[in-house]
Structure 1
Amino acid sequence: MYAVIRHYSFKSEDSDKINQMIQEGFVPLIKKANGFISYNWLDTGTGDGASLSVFQDKAGADESILLAADFVRKNMSELLSQKPEVIEGPIKAYG
């Protein structure tokens, strides 16, 4: 399995709007990526959010990175205070 973690920074007052955009717009999109296993979004309520996406292999994770970048550019770029931070790699332990 392969995972991608994305960290986002934004104004806390935009949380509800961002949460809705992710749930209604991005989640259906990422579910179509090859090898999709799961997607989770965490909103701290203080202007930070992070997502964890899991795929069967690196190819699916790479596809998700492109999908997320395109979605952010088209829908969320004006709401973010900085470029998202992306971490990816193989899952070594889980339970």
Structure 2
Amino acid sequence: MYTTVRYYEDEAQDVVEQIQGHEERLRELMTGIEGFVAYYLVDTGRRSLVTISVFADRSGAEESTRAATKLIGELGLGHVLPNPPKIMQGEVAVHV
């Protein structure tokens, strides 16, 4: 398995609520990528959020990064996510 973690900081206060308003579209996007395992959006509560994407392999994880960037633009969420995320990714070393 391969995981991508994206950390978004200094975002609009209502960013999580706005993304939740597009949850079905986000679900369709992620589940449509080959090798999809799981996706999580974590509200850190301090004008920042973390997303965690888990895929069977690296290619699916990298596609999710491209797709998420494109979706933010399509949904007009650039104003609530104006800063690019810090992205960390890699092979899952331990899975319990």
With the length of structure 1 as denominator, give the TM-score of the two structures. Answer: 0.87
| Aligned match of 1:89 | 90
Identity %: 27
Number of positions where the alignment pairs a residue of Structure 1 with one of Structure 2: 94
| Aligned match of 2:72 | 72
C-alpha root-mean-square deviation of aligned residues, in Å? 1.4
- Comparing both structures, which one devotes a greater share of its residues to helix? 1
Task: Measure, in 1, the Cα distance between the counterparts of 2:6 and 2:45.
Answer: 16
Counterparts of residues 14-25 of structure 1 (less than 5 Å):
14-21=15-22, 23-25=23-25
Counterparts of residues 1-95 of structure 1 (less than 5 Å):
1-9=1-9, 10-21=11-22, 23-75=23-75, 76-95=77-96
Give every structure 1 segment of 4 or more consecutive aligned residues whose post-TM-superposition deviation is greater than 3 Å.
Answer: none
Unaligned 5+ runs, structure 2: none
Q: Secondary structure at the match of 1:11?
A: coil
CA deviation string 1:34-89 (max 9, x = no partner): 10011111112221111111111111111111101111222221112411221111
Task: Measure, in 2, the Cα distance between the counterparts of 1:46 and 1:20.
Answer: 20
